[in-house]
Amino acid sequence: MTALTMPARPKHDAGLRPVPWRRMAWVTWRQHRAALGGVAVFLGAFAVYLWLTGLQMHHAYTADCHPASSVACTLNFTGRYATTGNVVSIFVQVVPALIGAFAGAPVLARELETGTFRYAWTQGIGRRRWTVAKLVLLAVAVAAAAAAFSALFSWYNQPFFAAGYVIPFSTRLFGLREVSFAAWTLAAFAIGALAGMLIRRVVPAIAATLAVYAGLALATALWLRQHYMAPLVTTKPNLPGSAWAVSQWYTKGGKFAFGAHGSGIANAVNQLCDNGNSGLSPGQCLSQHGYTVWTSYQPASRFWPFQWIEGGWLLALSVLLIAATVWLVRRRAA
Amino acid sequence: MNMNIVETSGLGKRYGGTWALRECSLAIPAGHVAALVGPNGAGKTTLLNLTVGLAEPSAGAVTVLGGWPAGSPAALDGIAFVAQDTPVYKNLSAADMLHLTRNLNRRFDQPYAKARLGELGIPLNRKAGRLSGGQRAQLALTVALARRPRLLVLDEPVAMLDPVARHDFMAIVLTAMTDDGVSVVLSSHVLADLERVADYLVLLSHGRVQMAGEVEDLLATHRMLTGPAAEADRYAERPVVRVGRAEAQAHLLVRAGMNDPVPPGWEAHPVSLEELAMAYLREPGAGALPGPARSRNTQPSEVTR
Amino acid sequence: MDIDKHNGAAGGGAGASPASGDMYPGQHLRVSDAEREAVTDQLAEHFAAGRLDQAEFDDRVERAMSAKTWADLSGLFAGLPGTRAPAVPELPRGGGSAPGSPIEFRLDAASGVPTYLQLVHQVEHALRLGYLKLGDQLPKVRDVVASLAINPNTVLKAYKELEVKGLTAGRPGQGTFIQATLGQVALPELAGLHKSLLGWLGTADAAGLDEDGIVALFTSALRDFYKRRGGAGARRGAASGNTEGVA
């Protein structure tokens, strides 16, 4: 047995070298390899599916979709794969939430729930380094896995975009594309970590993470995203290709008349256009009566800037949430 | 080593509106086994949590290892803590726990830990969740001692253990003390066996320190007087801790040295540590704090009846 | 301890043995119980073989059992042929390795006697009965702590007390060793005292005293006796505890 002799008292704290950061690599891996493995297996299985189906789709597209508007395309490509593609994208929507909830929430919640924090936070490395290292390592890991997965998913969807079946800004798909998907996964993880620290129980923290993430994702898709840059406005009835129509309204004589949906336009169409029986489309009919249609839209060229904006604010949010989590860890009394 | 391993002054901790610990001033010297004794809810766990840095004081201060603030890197380095119910990661094996602890600390004596686990017959590759309670406690203790701490803090370490496991556990703690000069602070609400193990006592009651001092001194300054019940009241002005009175005979636990004269007609006996602790715990109003020589806080307050 | 080894270590030739009645080096060394028993066994063999008659056998056995040193054993095998010195099995030492302490402590948790005093008493008791002799080592502090799970400071306190009494001396880095003995009472004397005590107890019991009464009477008589002899300082090798009143 080795008996170390220690100085009666270290001269001052600065003389005590802190435990190196790299030690936390094994610790994080060993304690969370189940979660990381689960994520890997889950994404991996999904990826295999996407790969196999995607190959078929690409083949069908190449064979039949030149031009994309041909009947053959509709028959052999869009008709066969569109529904599947929709369903798949719905499943993929859920992926960041699941990863965030199951990889992020238990990190702190399980330690607090089982009492093992009384061991972890009294070790020489100190609770700050322990928390920061764990959260950063896991965050980077899940974000990287998500980025790889979304690259494959984008490849999978590429025929749909090429065939004009969906626009780049598709609400359903925007958040699942390259930068966005990784950022959403990161944000979900950060939400999970903070929820775990606040709630201190694993299952409720997972539930809370899923709920908060869903709320945030919905709010972004339905409202926030369209405001990243001021939309362009036009009176042309047809938008440039693949643009994203944000909203539409009618004016008459320079004044706002009614929006493109709702009772206002319905009444007008009833009154002026014989309820659609005049043989003209509502748009043509209304314009005959002096109404001008305005459309605000985001052009397709703004796709990448929007991706970066979304990625940017999600990244900032994640950093903020993780910092808040670390701050709570330092403050928390046993 | 002539320093105080734990020193507190006016230490207090409040949870919400309740004070779990108040006005706690202690100076526990190094090289001892200090026992925190008191009923459940007395504040033992709170005091230990404050000492190891798991909680922040609401009032006062606590320093460890001769002056380092509790929870500072130097304190974390030199103190190993085994919490109540000895938490270990249930899905990690003993070997994993060793590896984990080695990664989380500056110092780790891997050969010692392996040897100890081998002697105890704890398999290295079985998940901790499948070990018995006693084995888990020994595992937690082994990784704690392998860190070569200067202070070992144990919260109700043997509460869940059977007598054999209890003996083995304490034997290892005490041999660490012998071999490496580790000081020990442990909490217990079991008084039996205390005298064998503890040489410094801190008695906590309702969040306050009722009595603290070296066991030797405490025993030397108390004794039990037995005599006629009719005369018991005559001693109201002496520092009496507890009176047990029957019809003819009364027992008084008094604060007096063995050389103080015994009143005629009375017999004097020494008290055991268990008797002493029990008597104080039963009389929350009685208190005996360490004298000026032992702490910076020079207010020994005795409540006499 | 093997007598042969003894001879060999001392450089004596193969011819030196108790059988020839020669004096051999080491004759002043003490005999252990096991060695006495080994000698007695050998004598029994000779008796069974018919070389000794009953009276001689009894006589030699008595001498063997009351032998204190190897010198006392000399001549016991006089006239008996081809006796090799009995090989005495080495007693397993408690605690493992060969140079250990002859004694091991035990603890009576319920006795009410402070732990360190129990250790002191056990050492004195062992000295009186001959388990511990001059130069023997007391159990290492670490071993006591490991086997009894008691505070090491307690063991140190007990050993310090023994040092103050002059019974032991510590050698730094080696341990604590016996350096003085208590007044030895020979085994036959002890047996005689035991017998007369039993007689007294019979009388006390017949007079109607119960056990606690006997203890109280004895304790007060003990105190009177030593008071008359001149106070606590004159207590020969007795423990000084803080006991007043009924223990």
Boundary (domain end) residue, out of B215, B247, B264: B215
Q: Which of C127, C221, C140 has the alpha carbon at shortest distance from C167?
A: C127
Query: Which of A198-207, A220-229, C6-15 has the weakest average pLDDT?
Result: C6-15
Contact flag B104-A27 (C-beta cutoff 8 Å): yes
Q: B88 vs chain A: nearest CA distance in angstroms? A: 6
- Contact across the interface for A118 and B92, Cβ inside 8 Å: no
Check: CB of residue A180 under 8 Å from CB of residue A307: yes
What residues of chain C lie within 8 A of the CB of B197, using their CB?
149-151
8 Å CB contact of A31 and B74: no
> Does one domain contain both B265 and B159?
no
Q: How confident is the model at residue C92 (pLDDT cuts 50, 70, 90)?
A: very low
Average pLDDT, chain C: 73
Chain C residues in contact with B262 (beta carbon < 8 A): 244
Output b/e per residue, A127-154; b: 16+ Cβ within 10 A.
bebbbbbbbbbbbebbbebbbebbebbe
Is CATH 3.30.1950.10 correct for C115-178? no
Q: Tell me if A114 and B87 make a contact (CB, 8 A cut-off).
A: yes
Q: Which residue has the higher pLDDT, A245 or B74?
A: B74
**pLDDT at residue C2 greater than cutoff 70:** no
Q: For A65, phi and psi rounded to 5 degrees?
A: -105, 40
pLDDT bucket at C27, cuts 50 / 70 / 90 = low
Provide the percentage of residues in chain C whose pLDDT is more than 70: 71
Mean pLDDT of C204-231: 84
Give the chains touching A; criterion: ≥3 Cβ pairs < 8 Å.
B
pLDDT digits (tens, 9 = 90+) for A82-106: 888 888 888 888 999 999 999 999 9
Q: What percent of chain A has pLDDT over 70?
A: 92
**Could you report the per-residue pLDDT of B1-28, keeping only the tens digit for each?**
578 899 999 999 998 889 999 999 999 9
**Are B95 and B185 in a shared domain?**
yes
DSSP sequence for chain B:
--SEEEEEEEEEEEETTEEEEEEEEEEEETTSEEEEE--TTSSHHHHHHHHHTSS--SEEEEEETTTEETTSHHHHHHEEEE-TT----TTSBHHHHHHHHHHHSS---HHHHHHHHHHHT--TTSBGGGS-HHHHHHHHHHHHHHT--SEEEEESTTTTS-HHHHHHHHHHHHHHHHHH--EEEEEES--TTHHHH-SEEEEEETTEEEEEEEHHHHHHTEEEEEEEGGGGGGGTTS-EEEEEE-SSEEEEEEE--TTSPPPTT-EEEE--HHHHHHHHHH-TT-EEPPPGGG-S-----EE--
Q: Across the interface, do A114 and B49 touch by the CB < 8 Å criterion?
A: no
Residue C221 contacts B, CB cutoff 8 Å: no
Q: Token digits for B300?
A: 């020994």
In a shared domain, residues B142 and B18 = yes
B135 and B270, same domain (yes or no): no
Query: What mean pLDDT do residues C104-129 have?
Result: 87
What part of B 143-172 touches A (C-beta under 8 Å)?
Answer: 147-148, 150
Q: Cα angle vertex B246, ends B244, B250, to 5°?
A: 50
Q: What is the 3-state secondary structure (H, E, C) of chain C?
A: CCHHHHHHHHCCCCCCCHHHCCCCCCCCCECCHHHHHHHHHHHHHHHHHCCCCHHHHHHHHHHHHCCCEHHHHCCCCCCCCCCCCCCCCCCCCCCCCCCCCCCCCCCCCCCCCCHHHHHHHHHHHHHHHCCCCCCCECCCHHHHHHHHCCCHHHHHHHHHHHHHCCCEEEECCCEEEECCCCCCCCHHHHHHHHHHHHHHHHHHHHCCCCHHHHHHHHHHHHHHHHHHHCCHHHCCCCCCCCCCCCC
Q: For A123, which of B101, B111, B115 is closest by C-beta distance?
A: B101
Query: How far is the alpha carbon of C93 from chain B, nearest alpha carbon, in Å?
Result: 20
C240 pLDDT more than 60? no
Helix, strand or coil, per DSSP, at residue A323: helix
- Which residues in chain C have their CB less than 8 angstroms from residue B168's CB? 149
Taking only residues 153 to 172 of chain B, the set having a beta carbon closer than 8 angstroms to any beta carbon of chain C reads 167-168, 170-171
Instruction: Indicate contact of A with C: 3+ CB pairs under 8 A.
Output: no
What range does the domain containing B12 cover? 4-215
With a CB cutoff of 8 Å and minimum separation 6, the contacts of A281 are: none
Tell me the pLDDT tens digit for each residue of B57-71: 999 999 999 889 998
pLDDT tens-place string over residues A118-154: 999 999 998 999 999 999 999 999 999 999 999 999 8
Structure tokens at A260: 């493109």
- For residues B70 and B201, membership in a common domain is answered with yes
Which pLDDT score, from 0 to 100, does residue A108 have? 94
Q: Residue B294: its pLDDT value, please?
A: 38
In this predicted structure, the answer to whether residue C238 has a pLDDT above a threshold of 50 is: no
The most confident of B7-21, C39-53, C216-230, by mean pLDDT: B7-21
Given a cut of 70, whether residue C10 has pLDDT beyond it is no
Cα distances (angstroms) measured from residue A237 to each of A245, A278, A292, B53: 11, 20, 9, 69
More confident residue, A275 or B119: B119
Q: Give the whole-angstrom CA distance, residue C220 versus residue C217.
A: 5
B254, B244 Cβ separation under 8 angstroms: no
Chain B residue with minimal CA distance to A133? Answer: B104
Q: Do A119 and B81 touch (CB under 8 A)?
A: yes
Structure tokens at A69: 């508007």
pLDDT at position A299 is: 82
pLDDT block averages, 10 residues each, chain B of length 305: 86 90 93 92 91 93 92 92 89 93 93 92 90 89 94 89 87 92 90 86 91 90 81 64 73 76 78 86 70 36 36
Q: Are residues B116 and B158 part of one domain?
A: yes
* C1 has pLDDT over 70: no
φ, ψ for residue C144, nearest 5 deg: -65, -45
Residues 115-154 of B with CB under 8 A from C: none
Mean pLDDT on C13-34: 54
φ, ψ of residue B242 to 5 degrees: the values are -150, 140
Residue of B nearest to A110 (CA): B89
In this predicted structure, what is the pLDDT of residue C165? 86
Chosen from C153, C240, C242, C243 to mutate, greatest number of chain B CBs within 10 A = C153
Residue of C nearest to B267 (CA): C245
Q: Which residue has the higher pLDDT, B20 or C6?
A: B20
CA angle A156, A161, A163 (to 5 degrees): 110
DSSP A203-234: HHHHHHHHHHHHHHHHHIIIIIGGGSSPPEEE
The answer to whether the beta carbons of residues C129 and C170 sit under 8 Å apart is: no
Structure confidence by residue, pLDDT tens digits, C144-154: 999 999 999 99
pLDDT-based confidence at residue A4 (cuts at 50, 70, 90)? very low
- Give the per-residue pLDDT at A276: 55
Kindly state whether B59 is in contact with chain A, defined as any CB-CB distance less than 8 angstroms: no
Of B32, B167, B258, Cβ closest to residue C149: B167
Taking the Cβ of residue C148 and every Cβ of chain B, the question of whether any pair is shorter than 8 Å is answered with: yes
HEC sequence for A114-156: HCCHHHHCCCCCCHHHHHHHHHHHHHHHHHHHHHHHHHHHHHH
Q: Count how many domains chain B has.
A: 2
CB contact under 8 A, A125 and B109: no
Given this model, what pLDDT does residue A281 score?
Answer: 74
CB contact under 8 A, B104 and A17: no
Look at A180-194, C67-81, C211-225 and tell me which has the smallest mean pLDDT. C67-81
Do B33 and B159 reside in the same domain of the chain? Answer: yes
- In this complex, is the C-beta atom of C204 within 8 Å of any C-beta atom belonging to chain B? no
Domain match, B88 and B227 both: no
Residues of B in contact with A30 (CB under 8 A): 92, 96, 99-100
Alpha-carbon span C36 to C61, nearest angstrom? 9
d(CA A295, CA A250): 9
Is C129 in the B-facing interface, judged by CB distances under 8 Å? no
DSSP string covering A1-41: -------SS-S-GGGSPPPPTTHHHHHHHHHHHHHHHHHHH
Residue A191's pLDDT band (cuts 50, 70, 90)? very high
Q: Which residues of C touch B258 (CB under 8 A)?
A: 242, 244
Which pair of structure tokens corresponds to residue B246? Answer: 């029957």
> CB distance B3–A24 less than 8 Å?
no
Residue C2 burial by CB count (10 A; 0-12/13-18/19+): exposed, middle or buried? middle
> Is the model more confident about C168 or about C227?
C168
Q: What is the pLDDT of residue C247?
A: 36
pLDDT at A1 over 70: no
Q: What's this model's pTM, rounded to 2 decimal places?
A: 0.76
Residue A200 distance to chain B (closest CA, Å): 16
Q: CA of B141: which chain A residue's CA is closest? A: A119
- The predicted-structure confidence for C153-188, as pLDDT tens digits, reads as follows 999 999 999 998 888 888 888 888 888 777 666 667
Mean pLDDT, rounded, for A240-262: 79
* B248 and B204 both lie in a single domain: no
Burial class (CB in 10 A: 0-12, 13-18, 19+), B209: buried
Residues B188 and B250 grouped into a single domain: no
Tell me the β-bridge partners of C30: C69
Same domain, yes or no: B164 and B226: no
* Residues B159, B84: Cα–Cα separation, whole Å: 8
Query: Across residues A159-165, what is the average pLDDT?
Result: 78
Please answer yes or no on whether A124 and B77 come within 8 Å at the CB atom: yes
A296: helix, coil or strand? Answer: strand
Query: What pLDDT is stored for residue A145 in this prediction?
Result: 92
Higher pLDDT, C129 or B257: C129
| Closest alpha carbon within chain A to B179 | A3
Does pLDDT of A192 surpass 50? Answer: yes
Task: With H, G, I as helix, E, B as strand and everything else as coil, classify residue A310.
Answer: helix
Q: For B174, phi and psi rounded to 5 degrees?
A: -75, -35
**pLDDT score, position A141:** 93
What is the pairing mode between strands B33-37 and B200-205? parallel
Instruction: Please check whether residue C157 is in contact with residue C198, taking contact to mean a CB–CB distance below 8 angstroms.
Output: no
Residue ranges of domains in chain C: 3-73, 115-178, 187-234
pLDDT beyond 70 at C4: no
Per the CB < 8 Å rule, is B112 touching A2?
yes
Single-letter amino acid code for the residue at B123: P
pLDDT of residue A17: 82
**Cβ–Cβ gap C242/B198 under 8 Å:** no
Distance from C-alpha of A194 to C-alpha of C237, rounded to nearest angstrom? 71
Q: Is the pLDDT of residue C90 over 60?
A: no
Residue A275 has pLDDT above 80, yes or no: no
> Smallest Cα–Cα separation from A141: which of A105, A174, A103?
A103
pLDDT score recorded for residue C202: 92
Q: Does B106 touch chain A (CB under 8 A)?
A: yes
CA distances from B126 to B95, B120, B171 (A): 8, 14, 24
pLDDT in tens, B252-286: 788 777 677 777 778 878 888 888 888 888 887 77
Domain stops at, among B173, B189, B215 = B215
Instruction: Residue B33: list chain C partners with CB under 8 A.
Output: 151, 153
* C216–B contact, CB cutoff 8 A: no
